[in-house]
Amino acid sequence: MTSVLVTGAGRGIGLAITDRAAVVRLHGQLPSQLDGVVNNAGIIVQGPVETVPLDDLSRQLEVNVTAQIAVVRAVLPQLREARGRVIFMSSVSGLITLPGTGAYSASKYALESLADALRMELRPWRIPVSLIEPGPTRTDMWGGAIDDYDRMTSQLSPAHRELYASHSRAIPRRSLRPSIALSRPDTRSVATGATTSAALSLHSCRRPRQPSPTRCSLAPPNPEEFSVNDNSNETVITSYAQAPTRTVTVGGTTYAYRELGPKGGIPVVFFVHLAATLDNWDPRIVDPIAQNQHVVAFDQRGVGASTGQVPNTLEEAADHAYEFIAALGFGRIDVFSFSMGGMIAQDLTVKHPDLVRRLVLTGTGPRGGKDMDKVVGVTYWDILRATLTRSDPKEFLFFSRDATGKSAAKAFVKRLQERTLDRDQDISIKALRTQLKAIQKFGRSAPSDLSTFTQPTLIANGDHDRMVPTVLSEDLHRRIKGSELIIYPNSGHGGIFQFHDRFAPVAVDFLGASA
């Protein structure tokens, strides 16, 4: 019979582990072979870091971190005997910190680091270590969360209550009640012990780490080294929602892509944004272009249905894009890019200027652009806001929060759901983090010499882009001689999606030009 130890903190789920002496005695009370331990213990200490009693901070770390490690150490002999596994219940708070929950988030960050160390240290005994990052789950721990919050605020001094009033207003008491449905397993993640995470509306946990990928060769691949999953005798499809997903494999890496529109002529390759997969292109932009041109959209390495690991730099991502393009046999392309995709497209054009005929750069900026590296903080903050309001993060990241922006955001997200079959896999948290770090490096790098660009270039953005500040689109326009610039009013990062009815015809005319 399978034996699993589940721990808790005295309320909610699991065996209480707050008694250190009881933890020490576990070794003699458990079966000689233990198939697994689920560390589920957790308490929440709330309050601004300045005001949290140090004893409460110690108790937070003791229960959520130290006691859990003590349990694992106590049962490791039985786990080694049975080749069992270790599971830690973390939280989205191990990714994002909210004002007033610094102590709780600190415990989750610490737990994630220790779990990662254990994963590597226990590998010789084939003891898997998994980490689960669920959103709020209905247990007794949450039952008293509002009372704890009220107790915390009542214990603040009048001076501190006034100092931190804005933070208290930013976290309504109702947000402490887990109205979000219970986390449910994702069938794609069962093998890694994952559950659904509330962050970013992602539905897959961190992928197990793999050895660093070998940097790809920039030489066009030998035909014997790649294979294409293709069907050539098909009716021309001009609807992105109906475009089939195909794959091409190059040197062991499989790229997923979709293509539509009439073949022949110069294809338009779409470079997508941060955290995006094939399902994140607005059909109101893609479909008009595909009426007259061959359109190809693809998943970068380690994202969606493409295999491999997400590259650590956008320069590497450009190398991978070239590898993909060469595998499809394209010697000249047009580029349509958005946000991070525009950064990759610039690096591709710098390295392979003869490959790119025409260039569309939207919602993006140049390497080394001012404040571009701040995208990490903006992204995490808006993911948090979306999590608390059960919204899609793109509603905050791409659009302004006035009535017009909110309406455009809802319409955009709805359009992304028009494809109902053969949808792509969601990006993992690990992949998102890697992409954010790559963008940060791009923003802190020495500028590229864009004055060498001879390609006709169309640049577009909204007038209030919080992710990649609008001034960076203007900077691109100054750096790329002869480029065209469109700035849409009362719009943000996703200005081209808010004004798709105006922008799509411009893009069609620009890409359809003969020279």
Query: Which residues are identified as catalytic?
Result: 104
Q: Which residues of 191-225 are buried (b: 16+ CB within 10 A; e: fewer)?
A: ebbbbbbbbbbbbbbbbeeeeebeebeeeebeeee
Return all residues near 226 (Cβ < 8 A) that are at least 6 apart.
Answer: 248, 249, 250, 251, 327
Nearest by Cα to 76 from 30, 108, 107: 30
Query: If DSSP codes are grouped into helix, strand and coil, which group holds residue 342?
Result: helix
Half-sphere exposure of 18 (CA within 13 A, CB side): 13
Partners of residue 457 on adjacent β-strands = 359
Return all residues near 413 (Cβ < 8 A) that are at least 6 apart.
Answer: 392, 394, 395
Nearest by Cα to 89 from 144, 36, 41, 46: 41
User: Residue 281 and residue 210: Cα distance in Å, rounded?
Assistant: 29
The continuous run of DSSP H or E covering 453 comes out as none
CB atoms within 10 A of CB 85: 19
**Which DSSP category does 425 fall into?**
P
The continuous run of DSSP H or E covering 462 comes out as strand 457-462
Partners of residue 297 on adjacent β-strands = 258, 270
CB–CB of 248/255 below 8 Å? yes
How many helices, marked H, and strands, marked E, lie in the chain? 19, 14
User: Residue 3 and residue 32: Cα distance in Å, rounded?
Assistant: 10
CB–CB of 195/185 below 8 Å? yes
Is 275 buried (19+), middle (13-18) or exposed (0-12) by CB count in 10 A?
Answer: buried
DSSP letters for 216-259: PP-SPPPGGGEEEE---S-PPP--GGGPPEEEEEETTEEEEEEE
